[in-house]
Structure formats: structure tokens, C-alpha cells
A = this chain, B = another copy of it.
Amino acid sequence: MHVQRVKRLPREVRERQILDAAVQVFSRHGYHNASMDEVSEVAGVSKPMIYAYLGSKEDLFGACIRREATRLLEAVTGGIRVELAPDMQLWHGLGAFFRFVGEHRESWQVLHRQAISQGGPFSDEVLAMRGRAIALVDALLVRTATKRGLDEQATRATEALAAALVGSAESLADWWLDHPDITGRTLASWLMNLVWMGFGDLVEGSVWTPTND
């Protein structure tokens, strides 16, 4: 008789609708302030469907995180050419990272802010992803360092440096939200100069030490 508001859609499509809505809502209000009601409203899907397809709120949030984390990792690794030199790999990776963040602010918010601030499995998951990123960077550093010869102190420091680099990138991505006139490419370039050259000095034995302490 009357038009049905939404047609019967295949499960796959419904799930995507729901996840899109959830990412949007979670990024806007944070995990706890987000209500399943709003998600269902934004998704145009009734709540029971959400539970049927994606489980509890926690499950839903987890699904969001996994999807966005995967997207981010794919974007970054997809931007890297393994046949290039380490510095160029890093360069492309950073470029891909900033490009992704620029184009998917909501995804980034969910990953960087919401997920980490929740204790337990969520932050674990994101921190694991960050760990993979750090390991990736560390591998590049080690590869370079080993080529040139790596002294004791530098060896032990590479992982920390990788962590610092990843942290820098994350922090710059945040900072970027308030300075949108800069291009992502510029950000990547700054970061390369800062980190790579400092790292190079380190490897070459040029070390900063406190004058007296």
C-alpha cells in the first residue's frame, strides 16, 4: 500500500551503513556519550538490526576501530614502495599517513582519541596497531643504521626513536586540525627533516650531551 521507507537490503550493505554511522557518532560524542539510539537514527536502521548484525555497543565500537585501523594501515603500507631506499619509504609512508588523516578526520578521531582513552581491549587494539607502525619504522631505522654501522647507544635507542617519530606524527596530525592551511606534504617534509637528519647524526656518532648536569 504505502511505500516502505527502506528496502530489504543485503546484510553487507546494512553493515556498512551502520559502521559509517557509528564512526560518525563515536567521533562526534566519544564512546560513552554516543548513544545507540543516535547511531540507529543516523544509520537509518532500527536498533535491533544493529545488535543482530554487529553485537553490543562494545562490539560495535571494536568493529569501527578495526575497520578504520585497517584502512589506515592499508593506506600507509599501500603508499610505500619497498624497493626504494629507507628514507624514501619513510617519506612516502608519512605522506600517505597525512593524506589519510586529512581525508578521514573522523576515522582519525575515533582511532586516536576515543579508542585510546578507553581502557582495556580498545586501547590495546589501537596500541597494537601503533606498535606495528613503530616496528615498521624501527625496521627502517635499523636497516639504515646497520648499513652504516651502529654504535651501542644508538642501537638501543632505535625503538624509542621510532616511538618518538610515530608520536610526532600523531601529534602533528592533531596540531594540523587547528592549522588546516598547511598541506600534509609540508608536514611530512618537516618531520623528515627533523627526524631523519637527527637520526643520521646519531648514527654517525655525532651526539648531543648535556654540558654539565
Contact = CB atoms under 8 A, between A and B. Distances in A.
A194 B114 CA distance: 29
Nearest to A212: B88
Contact of A194 (B29, B88, B170, B195): B195
A175 B163 contact: yes
Contacts of A157: 190, 193
Interface residues of A, number: 56
B208 A201 contact: no
Contacts of A44: none
Interface of A: 28-33, 85, 87-88, 91, 113-114, 116-119, 134, 157, 160-161, 163-172, 174-175, 179, 182, 187, 189-202, 206-211, 213
12 contacts: A31-B32, A87-B208, A88-B211, A91-B213, A116-B117, A117-B117, A117-B118, A160-B179, A163-B172, A163-B175, A193-B198, A197-B208
